[in-house]
Structure 1
């Protein structure tokens, strides 16, 4: 939406409408004075409650003139936008924020911020209340309109989120090499029809074919471009806490793992292999036995479960893998479905993302060591949690623990086996 310079320049010339808001950025004494965080929250929530739109910061509305934002203040302006979305909107928003330049009246290029908000599946409240976009301005929603919107968007969420089309994406965002691996070898269907049968594409409200959430997660090289948070944030710490006391270098390694989900799983397992300790012991016969801190089959199962069953509708929330000296922690966004509890996980099975799990079940493991254990990423038998618990406890002597964090994140802790280096 209004993604190119030419489109933005033309829209600025025409002025604000249902899809464009222009905001001048003001400073006083070198400090950011406007727009206020609460005003930004109202405007962005109004877009999310309507059909989506673009907020362009650094452009004066009345004269429709590009004024720009001083380069040294771009970070502060972006931070205010993020804070507005995260702290002043419920549920939070995760817009696409882009730094770019546009020509002013003299033709000089000026830095601006383009903030794009998609139409949401939820109804968002900002500090001013519930707003929607009417023409070129935001308006409070009348009670009857608000009631209808809650009903409509609740119904839309009955469709599984992983099968919903992503409004800003096009079929060209799907890598044909990646999606063809799921398609029958011989098919006379047009690509969009074939993608539709795979639940990797669907028609939106204007009957335009768009990639679905599952399609982007499995067939895009950069799914996080359209699904903020569709990545694994992996960090290896030096000690047993986030900032070990007395440690100057508290992170040994860190990586944002992106790409299609099957690649994310492989890279996350490689990250754990690289950063965990492996002890060497001598056997009585003089041979050597290696003792890793973690059972990689259990780690593999845990990562697959995290990416397959997390809630992708929680914009911006990401899977987090944290490796400490004595444990591995894996955070997966979303509440447990269907009245499940952490205690019932080994005994019950529920799929939040059926299209996604179906595609993952057709993905080869692609890792020589793990392929000895299973040929494909998922087997759909629901045995993953039991395997994680049993194999990890057999190695470390301590049973892994599941718990909920603020009713919005499932946390798995796998304890490391005690290791002593070979003498």
Structure 2
């Protein structure tokens, strides 16, 4: 790094990728910061500079750099040997330690992991460290392929497999299944070494919640637009994953609005659901398919509001997948579960589910707002938005006069309108304006505030 660049980053102050240390006497903190930087994005530690950016300098002896290198290597695991060099700023020596981002981000300092959070270097929690280890070894210790230690073959719901799963698979695949049931389940990686796997119990177990207490969907339905409003209902969908998806999907569709309209060229009315049928089922299925079942303290949570549905999935996104590129990437925490769900068309085998959700929204008669995805390494929250209010707007628009439509358009862009502004907008008398505004007020579309000349009208329906 050139001298000019060093001076510039010192002037910018400490950050997630830069730590300033006044002297080598803070050796323990320096080594902990090396762990933190390696476990985050990498960066630099500059020694001989105060937190405020004042150059103090460091005394450099014959063995200073060698001793620093050895101390770092001896107290980090795996051993870190960063690039270290001496620079002269304002006539004083400073030490620059360049720390590279670790591939697996599991670097320890004095046997403990650290990470960068802004300017701080806190110790990583036990849960986060363990999660990173699991991520590193995910192919070896993939949750859904592991044996469910407490379970036996008697814990499979063989009747469900015979009466429900096999007929569904045969119908969709147009193939006849031969052989006995245990052989079939074993071929699906649901039996290993004569015992059920985690995937096997979750998909085909009689009572999966006996082994995974929070492996269910919790759904709350609210009267208004926020959690603070009255809760109308609370449901828990248990059983195997197929049953959870089917029952939850059915409940949601029984409790969302189906609007209808009569088109001039048709005898029958057109039914319009406030949410896309495909989107609802796909998001429910994705939640149970891609959640982190190794996180025993969390569950899938769905919240239904008057204007949206939120789908919360514990588990989070891998590092290379973000809410922005999720439609272009394919990933599953539970590949065995995903493959079996795909075999019976519960999810899209080629990872096209999100594309179809977006397509359904764009082709919806009322063009609802596109879904919103929020995600981090711990959880994913997908929100879909109701088209109900758009339907009400369209329905009311059909009954309005051209003048009233102009008033509505003005209010959408300007929030409020006075009698005089309305008269100017429509080029009519104040008396006629009052009649139009009164009609809109009686329809409960607009409201009125103020007294006398301070009176104005505002749009109530959003």
Shorter-chain TM-score: which interval?
0.5 to 0.7
Shift of 1:311: 1.3
Count of residues paired in the alignment: 251
Q: Which structure is higher in helix share?
A: 2
Shift of 1:388: 1.4
Q: What's 1:212 paired with?
A: 197
- Runs of 4+ in structure 1 off by over 6 angstroms are 150-154
Q: What's 1:271 paired with?
A: 251
Correspondence 1:232-311 to 2 at 5 A: 232-244=217-229, 250-284=230-264, 287-311=268-292
- 1:217–1:261 CA contact under 8 A, matched in 2: yes
- 1:228–1:315 CA contact under 8 A, matched in 2: yes
Q: What CA deviation, in whole Å up to 9, does each residue of 1:184-214 have, x standing for no partner?
A: 73326x83x55333211223xxxxx332111
Q: Which structure is higher in RCO with an 8 Å CA cutoff and minimum separation 6? A: 1
| Structure 1 residues 416 and 197: CA distance shift in structure 2, 3 A | same
Task: Note if 1:410 corresponds to 2:402.
Answer: no
SS in 1 for 2:328: coil
Q: What's 2:341 paired with?
A: 360
Q: Out of 330, 338, 357, which is 2:311 matched to?
A: 330
Q: What's 1:170 paired with?
A: 152
Residues 343-352 or 413-422, more deviating: 413-422
Correspondence 1:131-210 to 2 at 5 A: 155=137, 158-180=140-162, 181=165, 185-187=177-179, 191=182, 194-203=184-193, 209-210=194-195
Quick check: which has more Rg, 1 or 2? Answer: 2
Shift of 1:334: 0.6
Task: Note if 1:379 corresponds to 2:348.
Answer: yes
| Structure 1 residues 391 and 185: CA distance shift in structure 2, 3 A | closer
SS in 2 for 1:420: helix
Distance in 2 (CA, whole Å) between partners of 1:397 and 1:241 is: 19
Q: What's 2:29 paired with?
A: none
Distance in 2 (CA, whole Å) between partners of 1:323 and 1:339 is: 30
What are the ranges of 5 or more consecutive residues in structure 2 without an aligned counterpart?
A: 1-111, 113-128, 170-175, 397-462
Taking only aligned residues, the RMSD between alpha carbons, in angstroms, comes to: 3.0
Q: What's 1:320 paired with?
A: 301
Shift of 1:356: 0.7
Shift of 1:257: 0.6
| Structure 1 residues 266 and 156: CA distance shift in structure 2, 3 A | closer
Name the TM-score, length of structure 1 as normaliser: 0.54
SS in 2 for 1:291: strand
| Structure 1 residues 303 and 187: CA distance shift in structure 2, 3 A | same
| Structure 1 residues 156 and 340: CA distance shift in structure 2, 3 A | closer
Q: What's 1:401 paired with?
A: 372
Shift of 1:380: 0.9
| Structure 1 residues 409 and 392: CA distance shift in structure 2, 3 A | same
Correspondence 1:121-140 to 2 at 5 A: none
Distance in 1 (CA, whole Å) between partners of 2:159 and 2:250 is: 24
Distance in 1 (CA, whole Å) between partners of 2:286 and 2:208 is: 18
Q: What CA deviation, in whole Å up to 9, does each residue of 1:216-241 have, x standing for no partner?
A: 11112321111122111111110001
Q: What CA deviation, in whole Å up to 9, does each residue of 1:8-65 have, x standing for no partner?
A: xxxxxxxxxxxxxxxxxxxxxxxxxxxxxxxxxxxxxxxxxxxxxxxxxxxxxxxxxx
- 1:175–1:220 CA contact under 8 A, matched in 2: yes
SS in 1 for 2:327: coil
Q: What CA deviation, in whole Å up to 9, does each residue of 1:276-300 have, x standing for no partner?
A: 1122223235642222110111111
| Structure 1 residues 233 and 358: CA distance shift in structure 2, 3 A | same
Shift of 1:155: 4.6
Distance in 2 (CA, whole Å) between partners of 1:408 and 1:312 is: 12
Shift of 1:327: 0.4
SS in 2 for 1:414: strand
Q: What CA deviation, in whole Å up to 9, does each residue of 1:240-282 have, x standing for no partner?
A: 01122xxxxx122221011121221111111111111122223
Q: What CA deviation, in whole Å up to 9, does each residue of 1:124-161 have, x standing for no partner?
A: xxxxx9xxxxxxxxxxxxxxxxx9xx989975873321
Name the TM-score, length of structure 2 as normaliser: 0.50
Shift of 1:303: 1.4
Distance in 2 (CA, whole Å) between partners of 1:381 and 1:257 is: 27
Shift of 1:322: 0.9
Distance in 2 (CA, whole Å) between partners of 1:353 and 1:212 is: 12
SS in 1 for 2:271: strand
Q: What's 2:212 paired with?
A: 227
Q: What's 2:70 paired with?
A: none
